[in-house]
Structure 1
Amino acid sequence: MITESFSSTAAWMQIQAALTKTSSSTILLGILSVGVLVLAIDYAHMLYLYTRMPPGPLPLPIIGNTHLLPDVKPWIYFEELAKQYKTPVITFWIGRNPTVWICDAWAASELFDKRAGIYASRPRMVVFGELGTGQSNLVTMYYGARWRVHRKLTHLGVGLQQVRNYQGFQNDESKVVAYNLLRTPEKYEVHFERYAASVVSIIGFGRRIASTDNPIISEVLAIMQRAAELNVPGKTFPMLMETFPFLAKFPNEIAPWKHGLKSGRGMAFYYALAEEAANNLEQPQSYSKKLFDEAPKYDLTPDEIGSLAGNLFGAGSDTSSSTLVTFVLACCAFPEVLGRAWEELDRVVGSKRSPNMEDEASLPYIKAFVKEVFRWRSVAIIGGQPHAPIQDDVYKEWHIPKGTWVQGNVWAIHHSEKEFPDPDRFNPERYLKDSPDFRPFPNERGYMTFGWGRRVCSGQGLAEQGTFLTVARLLWGFKIEKARGADGKEIPVDIFDYTNGLNMRPQPFKCRISPRSTEIRDTINREGEEALERLSIYDGETRYTLSKFYKGSVKGK
């Protein structure tokens, strides 16, 4: 009896176990079926867009084309894709999101300039946007009313009318560069960095940076270069979060792939600098003082003030110094272009003074030389941050959906054989209209280094003015040549050896920089000492450095 009962119970338990197993299997099968269906529908949508958008590689489910990204310099890969598909515009999928890359000057002009009102916004950017400065910064801000406020306030600092007012101290800081190069020419790169940082520091905070050892230079440039790295599409972390955005939702404590990414980290530091400058009644008028005057009117938050002040460094320090290093590289690699520059400068300027902005109209070759510096190895090699259309758009027969990541490939645009034959050769005569090397271009400048439309770099006028002053002065004052080894032979330079960030610069190289004549050397010394005397009104110190600020060594911070 007991045996029969036990057998019945065991049988029942087996039946229940079988039913449970079947039920679990059914649930798992159901979940799997739903997952496959969702994946199929999602991939069908991707393929539907693939057939309507500009041509490009066939995307895979979920990962798109991310696996095809090269480890370095993807802009060269996108240039090659455009040639392969014989199209000015390509589509490349970062995960499930299509990105459109414009590799032609005329297409960029049509979309970004002529349709500026449509392509004025930003797409969703996980790494640089949501995990970075978000909607408190003009650079990453979506197009709208708040963006217009920030753009207006930015023009108070670096608008074209303001930039003209900066010629005096910008010219003097350029004279100090030449003065310093006489003493330590081997440190040309840090002299350029000090110059660029000092100009924007005077504008932003009413205080110059006198020493190349000032930590503001190294720390801020490190941040800018790191930020530039976070704008280059990649298949490793942190940029892999653009392919898999859900990874950004994990708490920092359990997400090592988010290490070093902290929303708004730099804005508090720049706010502290701006507040310090605004409250210092002994310092000259500065952009920071203007920001605090305007803050109540526009309800500016501390993060917004910090981002507006900090953007000056982003727009004018790393990019300007990198452009000048590229200029030195070009002089070393292409010495044949220097003779005509020296002839023009000697004829127009002479040796008793250095060139200034008033000479620009009389120096067409030097002006062309500066344009070629901007074109040959543009610093913002993919044109800054991506654009996004605020509505669906059609270019030729191709569909570009609202919110799509649309990027200008400045490398491809400036290396088009059609507009720039033999593009890797540094040739200022491309910009002289009576030269056989001149070719039409869709804008008057002849380059697209600073971006396009309503998202064009705010610091363009400042950078162009400063680059002309400094390039003209250094061409006038110095012989810039390849370094020589112990055997007396010239050491070659590599015109392709550049960093991989969005704001690229040459990898370190040695060169020789020497004054062109004794009289010019004496003029550089005299003008440098006079410039330092005039600039002394901007002398001053700050109690803040980035490293100390975030270590909490500044009381109350």
Structure 2
Amino acid sequence: MAHPILDHISPLYFCAGLFFVCLLSISSRRRPRYPPGPRGLPIVGNLFDIPKNYGWKRYREFGREYGSDLVHFEVLGTHIVVINSAEVAKDLLEKRSSIYSDKQRSVMIQELTGWHRNFSLLPYGDGWRIRRRLFHQQFRPMAVPHYHPMQVKGVHGLLRSLLDSPEHFRDHLRFMTAKIILNIVYAFDVQPGDHRVELVEKGVKTAMDIIAAGVYLVDVIPILKYLPAWFPGAGFKRQAANWKILVDKMHETPYYEFKKTMQEGNAKPCFAATLLSEVENTEDMKDLEEVFISLTGTAFIAGSDTTVTTLYTFFLAMVMFPETQASAHEELDRVIGRKRLPDIEDRDSLPYISAIVQEVLRWHPILPIGLAHRTIADDEYNGYHIPAGTVVIGNSWAMLRDERLFPDPDLFKPERFLNEDGSLNDGAHYPIETFGFGRRICPGRYFAQDLLWLTVSSVLAAFRIERAADVNGKEIVPKGEFTPRVLSMPEPFECRITPRFPGTESLVRSTSLTD
């Protein structure tokens, strides 16, 4: 039977009407409930809401404004979620790490500048897993004590340098960490001015320059990577090529120098020797060599600039909060005395020193918003939708300034990690967020924690770190400001570093006889 209405409607109008109904149905579907965040503009979304400087502070403000530990942005179709609390970070980045362990893609970093060799920046997959496993084997908690003698030797060298030229303490910190890492990775015993030290320092600086520059246009429009370097507007290609030369030299030069010594039978036991000995003269050698170069290069970054920046923060805290230093000196004199320097075995007996190290890590993490994660699947959390491909930022600075966990968070108070009797409070929140989250947490953190403790305890045992004075003799009080980019370090400040007691110099000089 003919339909009384459809008979009078042409097929064209029927199709047009059906299309309209479908369109109306699609447009009326409920938008997924994302975490709260600022309303975006057409096309560009929240592009102009993303902070360029001090992002960790602005992201915390957004969280407070919207009353949420999760804040959502959308930029040019890419979803971004910022986590401002340790509890939510644990729920998502740790407990659901199978979803949240991928890394944000960057054409500039991972394809054009040679930093694909840093496995911490690799996407979640087999390549990352094998590198992570090999690295963990060499820097797991049970392996780190093997490196203590090298750490002690480096710290003692730092103390002697501080006696000779305390005004150059920043340079001394950089050399100490480079020396220790080159010794552990390749068994190179380097001195100031060594070309391998300069390679490490230049390579690390290049990494920090690349990261500090933020997001490049080629990261947003990847097809731009095919532009020739001479093309107008392709200056990023020329800059990337220059960076890649330095990055490749940092990775390859020490490796091939060591490989040559190993082939000649002159290599000493070290990280690289352990790796190479497992596959030497096998069919796996060629395939795994790039993996080894990646691992050794990652060790330079993990152990160099991050440790230097943390120690630089320690010096700043001692200048700004002299009462902390006085308490540390009292504990050192009571437990160690003045006839020897602290060793790692003294750690359990020096809880206040350990609390200082924890407070340095908490007070200002060197990567306040870390390195972004990326989801590999859709997820739901507390009624919020987090789609696959979302860039997830863990705001460790906000987590470690959370008044619910750390009262008076802006103050430097090691006592927050102690019981009333002065012992370490095992129930206090350890600032683990400084080292990252979930499966992407820094695998070298145990090594870093021991080196930090040895350096802090030894420097405080031997020296006073005090405020400098101007030409009129008035104390110069540092403002306690930090640089505004991804890798955040104290702005330059002045201080006086002097021997703590009459026998300091002879005690420190004597270390050259035993190291």
Give 1:554's aligned residue.
none
Give 1:388's aligned residue.
374
Question: In the aligned structure 1, how far is the partner of 2:142 from the partner of 2:114?
Answer: 28
Given the superposition, is the C-alpha separation of residues 127 and 65 from structure 1 closer, same or farther in structure 2, using an over 3 Å criterion? farther
Give 1:339's aligned residue.
326
Gaps of 5+ in 1: 1-40, 535-557
Contact 1:420 1:439 in 2 (8 A): no
Aligned residue type for 1:416: D
2:237 to 258, 261, 264: 258
Given the superposition, is the C-alpha separation of residues 435 and 82 from structure 1 closer, same or farther in structure 2, using an over 3 Å criterion? farther
Asked whether 1:286 is paired with 2:270, we answer yes
Q: RMSD in angstroms over aligned alpha carbons? A: 2.7
Give 1:530's aligned residue.
513
Aligned residue type for 1:289: A
Give 1:492's aligned residue.
477
Give 2:38's aligned residue.
57
1:417 to 391, 403, 408: 403
Give 2:203's aligned residue.
223
Question: In the aligned structure 2, how far is the partner of 1:276 from the partner of 1:209?
Answer: 13
Question: In the aligned structure 2, how far is the partner of 1:277 from the partner of 1:444?
Answer: 42
Question: In the aligned structure 2, how far is the partner of 1:120 from the partner of 1:499?
Answer: 28
Asked whether 1:93 is paired with 2:93, we answer no
Question: In the aligned structure 2, how far is the partner of 1:69 from the partner of 1:135?
Answer: 26
Give 1:6's aligned residue.
none
Question: In the aligned structure 1, how far is the partner of 2:141 from the partner of 2:96?
Answer: 23
Per-residue displacement from partner, 1:372-395 (whole Å, max 9, x unpaired)?
011111112222x22122321112
Give 1:11's aligned residue.
none
Give 1:461's aligned residue.
446
Given the superposition, is the C-alpha separation of residues 250 and 500 from structure 1 closer, same or farther in structure 2, using an over 3 Å criterion? farther
- 1:518 is paired with a residue of what secondary structure? coil
Given the superposition, is the C-alpha separation of residues 50 and 71 from structure 1 closer, same or farther in structure 2, using an over 3 Å criterion? farther
Tell me the CA shift for residue 94 of structure 1.
3.4
Tell me the CA shift for residue 99 of structure 1.
1.3
- 1:92 is paired with a residue of what secondary structure? strand
Identity among equivalent pairs (%):
33
Which has the higher mean CA deviation after the structures are superposed, 505-514 or 426-435?
A: 426-435
Contact 1:484 1:491 in 2 (8 A): yes
Aligned residue type for 1:90: V
Given the superposition, is the C-alpha separation of residues 188 and 395 from structure 1 closer, same or farther in structure 2, using an over 3 Å criterion? same
Asked whether 1:160 is paired with 2:141, we answer yes
Given the superposition, is the C-alpha separation of residues 278 and 187 from structure 1 closer, same or farther in structure 2, using an over 3 Å criterion? same
Tell me the CA shift for residue 183 of structure 1.
0.9
Tell me the CA shift for residue 217 of structure 1.
4.1
What does 1:541-552 align with in structure 2 at a 5 Å threshold?
none
Aligned residue type for 1:110: D
Tell me the CA shift for residue 396 of structure 1.
1.0
- 2:121 is paired with a residue of what secondary structure? coil
Per-residue displacement from partner, 1:425-453 (whole Å, max 9, x unpaired)?
111011113389x9998x86334110111
Give 1:478's aligned residue.
463
Question: In the aligned structure 2, how far is the partner of 1:241 from the partner of 1:430?
Answer: 45
Contact 2:376 2:388 in 1 (8 A): yes
Give 2:434's aligned residue.
449
Contact 1:127 1:242 in 2 (8 A): yes
Contact 1:380 1:502 in 2 (8 A): yes
- The size of the alignment, in residue pairs, is 480
Aligned residue type for 1:251: P
Question: In the aligned structure 2, how far is the partner of 1:453 from the partner of 1:142?
Answer: 14
Give 1:17's aligned residue.
none
- 1:172 is paired with a residue of what secondary structure? helix
1:199 to 149, 161, 180: 180
Per-residue displacement from partner, 1:311-363 (whole Å, max 9, x unpaired)?
11110000111111111100000101112111111111011101111000011
Given the superposition, is the C-alpha separation of residues 216 and 89 from structure 1 closer, same or farther in structure 2, using an over 3 Å criterion? farther
Question: In the aligned structure 2, how far is the partner of 1:62 from the partner of 1:283?
Answer: 58
Per-residue displacement from partner, 1:25-77 (whole Å, max 9, x unpaired)?
xxxxxxxxxxxxxxxx9xx99x9997522111222233222223334222221
Which has the higher mean CA deviation after the structures are superposed, 238-247 or 367-376?
A: 238-247
Give 2:170's aligned residue.
189
Query: TM-score by structure 1 length?
Result: 0.80
Gaps of 5+ in 2: 1-22
Contact 1:94 1:243 in 2 (8 A): no
Give 1:361's aligned residue.
348
Given the superposition, is the C-alpha separation of residues 94 and 434 from structure 1 closer, same or farther in structure 2, using an over 3 Å criterion? farther
Question: In the aligned structure 1, how far is the partner of 2:259 from the partner of 2:335?
Answer: 43
Give 1:328's aligned residue.
315
Given the superposition, is the C-alpha separation of residues 520 and 179 from structure 1 closer, same or farther in structure 2, using an over 3 Å criterion? same
Contact 1:104 1:413 in 2 (8 A): yes
1:507 to 491, 503, 507: 491
Query: TM-score by structure 2 length?
Result: 0.86
Which has the higher mean CA deviation after the structures are superposed, 129-138 or 409-418?
A: 129-138
Given the superposition, is the C-alpha separation of residues 223 and 65 from structure 1 closer, same or farther in structure 2, using an over 3 Å criterion? farther
Tell me the CA shift for residue 268 of structure 1.
5.3
Question: In the aligned structure 2, how far is the partner of 1:219 from the partner of 1:309?
Answer: 13
Contact 1:331 1:338 in 2 (8 A): yes
Tell me the CA shift for residue 294 of structure 1.
4.2
Asked whether 1:373 is paired with 2:357, we answer no
Aligned residue type for 1:162: A
Contact 1:197 1:313 in 2 (8 A): yes
Question: In the aligned structure 2, how far is the partner of 1:297 from the partner of 1:174?
Answer: 38
- 2:230 is paired with a residue of what secondary structure? helix
Tell me the CA shift for residue 246 of structure 1.
3.9
Tell me the CA shift for residue 278 of structure 1.
2.6
- 1:253 is paired with a residue of what secondary structure? coil
Question: In the aligned structure 2, how far is the partner of 1:352 from the partner of 1:49?
Answer: 73
Given the superposition, is the C-alpha separation of residues 269 and 343 from structure 1 closer, same or farther in structure 2, using an over 3 Å criterion? closer
What does 1:66-77 align with in structure 2 at a 5 Å threshold?
66-77=47-58
Asked whether 1:406 is paired with 2:383, we answer no
Question: In the aligned structure 2, how far is the partner of 1:57 from the partner of 1:370?
Answer: 37
Per-residue displacement from partner, 1:278-328 (whole Å, max 9, x unpaired)?
321334212222333345547535543322111111100001111111111
Aligned residue type for 1:514: T
Give 1:29's aligned residue.
none
1:209 to 190, 193, 203: 190
Asked whether 1:311 is paired with 2:298, we answer yes
What does 1:59-138 align with in structure 2 at a 5 Å threshold?
59-133=40-114, 136-138=117-119
Question: In the aligned structure 2, how far is the partner of 1:132 from the partner of 1:310?
Answer: 14
- 1:379 is paired with a residue of what secondary structure? coil
1:274 to 240, 248, 255: 255
Structure number with larger C-alpha Rg: 1
